[in-house]
Structure 1
Amino acid sequence: MSDLKITETSIPGLLVVDLPVHGDNRGWFKENWQREKMVAAGLPDFGPVQNSIAYNAAVGTTRGFHAEPWDKFVSVASGRIFGAWVDLREGHSFGAVFTIELGPDRAVFVPRGVGNSYQTLEADTVYAYLVNDHWSPDAEYSFLNLADETAGVDWPIPLAEAVLSEKDRAHPRLADVASVPPRRTLILGADGQLGRALRAELGTAAHLEYVTRADFDITAPGPRHWRDYGTIINAAAYTAVDAAETAQGRADAWAVNASGPAALARIAAANGINLVHVSSDYVFDGDSELYDEESALSPLGVYGQSKAAGDLAVQTAPRHYIVRTSWVIGDGGNFVRTMASLAERGIHPRVVHDQRGRLTFASDLARGIRHLLDTGAPFGTYDLTGSGEPAAWSDIAREVFALSGHDPVRVTPVSTAEYYADAAGPIAPRPRNSVLDLAKIEGTGFAAADWRRSLREYLVPDDR
């Protein structure tokens, strides 16, 4: 009896699983699928939803190459089969081949888009497969001809003597195969500062789907074939901090920042999707000098409370990244653009001096999100802001004035209480300190840019 062992192959993601088989004079027994043990050994937690069984009476019965739009765990119940796989996914491994014999003591995990084929070596062979999507006649496959010369599979039983379907005989050669694209990525909030930065960072490949509030209602996600999606990036948010203190604003903030992420978390959990959710420094009260990912949530106002609720909801999705940030600056209206405009117009602004933090440029935030996804960093919460020495809003305003060629003394520092003393409408409480600890994301190999350097590049793009 062998131990449970999982071995990588020459095709990325295709895994061979050696299964312990317990035998005696009565026959044998095996645990064909045991989630806890297999995931601990290195098998993806792929979430099977359907179990199918294939029976082949004759030796030489051959099926394939079918690249299906789901992941698949294939094992033998009786007999032996020769398995062959060809990678039909877009990318550097397209066309890679792997073959192996399978019996009751060996199974194979086949990732979505890898063409699989099986040839029976014994009569009355039975093999089973678990898949993580329900079979549908509308499912889109890619196929490869079993006799493709490029793949060059050395079939134990020559195809001329094998039992094949007419469809399998007619499938295209590798040069004519439509490669399988990656699972789709849905980016919400595509018209915001971060959304535009994500478009610049990720590009416009066919599998990337950018949607705005007009296209997609986060509070009531419509029907989609969610198994086609591998990642959802939620860059949508209600950010009108002061308006959130009104009756209508409170309802809107909770709908977008809490109920919406909860709906996305349910979808992600049910379909094995990576969910990236952008959080805020406003989930803290600002009374500590530094906040890390384990700091207790302590929001002051409605906006912060709704964002904290959204964070808690997203944590229910097994494959989640909560990216907590602060003071985002990108392509659109923001504090830096406002200060630069005031400087140009000769206005002497009053800016608060008792709120400290770091600017986060949307391009850096988008780069960090891509880093987490591309490196497969452990799921969880990550703080992500610009690096460097924290500063007050008034300090930042003065740097904007100086970089724009204006006298920074024109900026007058005032307290938050003084600044809002004459405000006509409701004013949300602000955290006094918004400095986030970057150690965790830096531990994954990501280096956030110094916010002062990014500010200079933002305002003086030719001075790099």
Structure 2
Amino acid sequence: MAPEFSKSLTAHPTPIPGVVLYDLPVHGDNRGWFKENWQREKMLALGLPDFGPVQNNISFNEKAGTTRGIHAEPWDKYISVATGRIFGAWVDLREGPSFGTVFTTELDPSQAIFIPRGVGNAFQTLEDNTAYSYLVNDHWSADAQGQYTFLNLADETAAIDWPIALDRAELSDKDRAHPRLSAVVPMSPKKILVLGSDGQLGKALRSAFAGQAHIEFAARSDFDLTDPRSYTGRNWKNYSTVINAAAYTAVDDAESPEGRRAAWAINVSAVANLARVAAENRITLVHVSSDYVFDGTADAHPEDEPFSPLGVYGQTKAAGDAVVSTVPAHYVVRTSWVIGEGKNFVRTMASLAGRGIAPSVVNDQVGRLTFTQDIAAGIVHLLSTGAPYGVYNLTNDGEPASWADVARRVYELTGHSGDSVTGVSTEEYFQGKQAAPRPKNSVLPLDKIKAAGFAPADGRERLAEYLAGASAVDGAAAGRGMGY
């Protein structure tokens, strides 16, 4: 049977999420036919994921009725027929609400279909001498077979209506022995690795991802960012995303010789290693940035403002952002004035208020607080919605305020007089102290993250909730250490 000529390249969604059927243009004359089986630029324009194929396999089948499957492999596949005709059957064997969903159709050389990782693939030849082609995005290995998920071709739940009855078809003994759907262990999603899970943001991410078995949390003791072995000790093919919530954030210490080396090692060299791993393995890299990449002279700092860091910490964060931008799939989440579980400015002010201390607090630095639960929720939103890759400002919403304004609000919310707080300039506050330069204006516009469908909570409301829920405060100075 000759393929249908003169089709336009067209994508057709199917009932299985991520499975897309394509019509392919086939050009023929008296000599035969020619087609573009795979054309990356055109396929991407139609919405096909840039899945990075690395291996092409062909299954030749001598007789009509040859039946193979149902196999779900741990990689994506782009399937087409080189010659002949097949009846294809696909069953979703991934964890989730679409588990068990079935799609069937006939394929000839004028069609192709994209099958995501974890969707079971099977076919039955309808003509002799049929060649079935797979373009896959991982190299086959014997070890990989241990990650396959199988379903019996005759499963009653899937109820596939094979054109040639299975008792008359050509099957392998292995395919006959595969389990029924009730005994199938669904293929789990690729893992998401959260680095810096012992920091303020890491703890918030633990809460945001609670109960999800495919999330892997790595504290500093689990993943040493400065050790080259950390980047070679995992099978990165099993990961979809790395969230880098680890950073050197000791702003003032970074101005010292030791601190400078540590800041560059964690915020730049380690980030470069993560970027290399992500690019090589088609992993989405989520990286947390800072208002310190700017000098604070603008009224507000949109995502596309050129870098202008004042101190070493800001320089290393800007360099890290630049490195991450080279990863094809990346989110840079830029934030400011982070407040979470642990030592921070709000807890310090609450402690001072409780002890009757009247502090002097900087009043010429302006910005917005960002509570870690909102950073975590924003990251989850970007990943779950498939928002366009790039840089996103993410702070809490509301009117900007100075550190002194925030301190007064903390005093009032804890039942003390805001008049106890005296506002002083940055220069006065740090007089006689070794301190890094700080941006005077840290306001980050939120238009882009809102356009992506995420609405950050109002900072004043979050502050009240935070203080109401804080069971204990400490008097340690609000500093920046390892991790947000």
Which moves more between the two structures, 118-127 or 216-225?
216-225
Corresponding residue of 1:384? 394
Any gaps of 5 or more consecutive residues in structure 1?
none
Asked whether 1:432 is paired with 2:440, we answer yes
Residues 18-49 of structure 1, C-alpha deviations (whole Å, 9 max, x = no match): 11011111111111111011111121110111
Q: CA–CA distance in 1 between the matches of 2:465 and 2:334?
A: 23
The amino acid across from 1:30 in the alignment is K
The amino acid across from 2:164 in the alignment is I
The amino acid across from 2:455 in the alignment is A
Q: Secondary structure at the match of 1:318?
A: coil
Q: CA–CA distance in 2 between the matches of 1:69 and 1:390?
A: 48
The amino acid across from 1:55 in the alignment is F
Q: Secondary structure at the match of 1:354?
A: coil
Asked whether 1:270 is paired with 2:317, we answer no
Which moves more between the two structures, 266-275 or 304-313?
266-275
The amino acid across from 1:428 in the alignment is A
Q: CA–CA distance in 1 between the matches of 2:109 and 2:263?
A: 55
* Residue in structure 2 matching 1:258, options 268, 278, 283: 268
Asked whether 1:288 is paired with 2:298, we answer yes
Any gaps of 5 or more consecutive residues in structure 2?
1-5, 471-484
Q: CA–CA distance in 2 between the matches of 1:399 and 1:277?
A: 31
The amino acid across from 1:404 in the alignment is T
Residues 372-421 of structure 1, C-alpha deviations (whole Å, 9 max, x = no match): 11111111110000100000001101111111111222211111111111
Corresponding residue of 1:29? 34
Q: Secondary structure at the match of 2:415?
A: coil
Q: Secondary structure at the match of 1:316?
A: coil
Q: Secondary structure at the match of 1:307?
A: helix
User: Displacement, 1:203?
Assistant: 1.0
Q: CA–CA distance in 1 between the matches of 2:425 and 2:29?
A: 81
Asked whether 1:98 is paired with 2:103, we answer yes
Q: Secondary structure at the match of 1:460?
A: helix
Asked whether 1:167 is paired with 2:174, we answer yes
Corresponding residue of 1:130? 135
Q: CA–CA distance in 2 between the matches of 1:218 and 1:118?
A: 46
Q: CA–CA distance in 2 between the matches of 1:222 and 1:125?
A: 41
Q: CA–CA distance in 2 between the matches of 1:441 and 1:163?
A: 55
The amino acid across from 1:75 in the alignment is S
Corresponding residue of 1:152? 159
Asked whether 1:373 is paired with 2:378, we answer no
Corresponding residue of 2:48? 43
Corresponding residue of 2:88? 83
User: Displacement, 1:100?
Assistant: 0.8
User: Displacement, 1:422?
Assistant: 2.0
Corresponding residue of 1:246? 256
User: Displacement, 1:204?
Assistant: 3.4
Asked whether 1:459 is paired with 2:467, we answer yes
Q: CA–CA distance in 2 between the matches of 1:153 and 1:84?
A: 7
Q: Secondary structure at the match of 2:412?
A: helix
User: Displacement, 1:218?
Assistant: 2.4
Residues 247-289 of structure 1, C-alpha deviations (whole Å, 9 max, x = no match): 1111111111112222111111121211111100000000001
* Residue in structure 1 matching 2:336, options 326, 341, 345: 326
TM, length-normalised to structure 1: 0.98
User: Displacement, 1:217?
Assistant: 2.1
Q: CA–CA distance in 2 between the matches of 1:248 and 1:9?
A: 57
Q: Secondary structure at the match of 2:143?
A: coil
Corresponding residue of 1:312? 322
The amino acid across from 1:451 in the alignment is G
Which moves more between the two structures, 147-156 or 197-206?
197-206
Q: CA–CA distance in 1 between the matches of 2:358 and 2:199?
A: 29
* Residue in structure 1 matching 2:407, options 397, 403, 406: 397
Q: Secondary structure at the match of 2:469?
A: coil
Q: Identity over aligned residues, as a percent?
A: 64
The amino acid across from 1:267 in the alignment is V
Q: Secondary structure at the match of 2:53?
A: coil
The amino acid across from 1:209 in the alignment is E
Structure 1 moving runs of 4+ over 3 Å: none
Q: Secondary structure at the match of 1:251?
A: helix
* Residue in structure 1 matching 2:312, options 291, 296, 302: 302
Q: CA–CA distance in 1 between the matches of 2:143 and 2:213?
A: 20
Corresponding residue of 2:71? 66
Q: Secondary structure at the match of 1:311?
A: helix
Asked whether 1:349 is paired with 2:345, we answer no
Q: CA–CA distance in 1 between the matches of 2:130 and 2:468?
A: 70
Q: CA–CA distance in 1 between the matches of 2:53 and 2:257?
A: 44
User: Displacement, 1:461?
Assistant: 3.2
Corresponding residue of 2:482? none
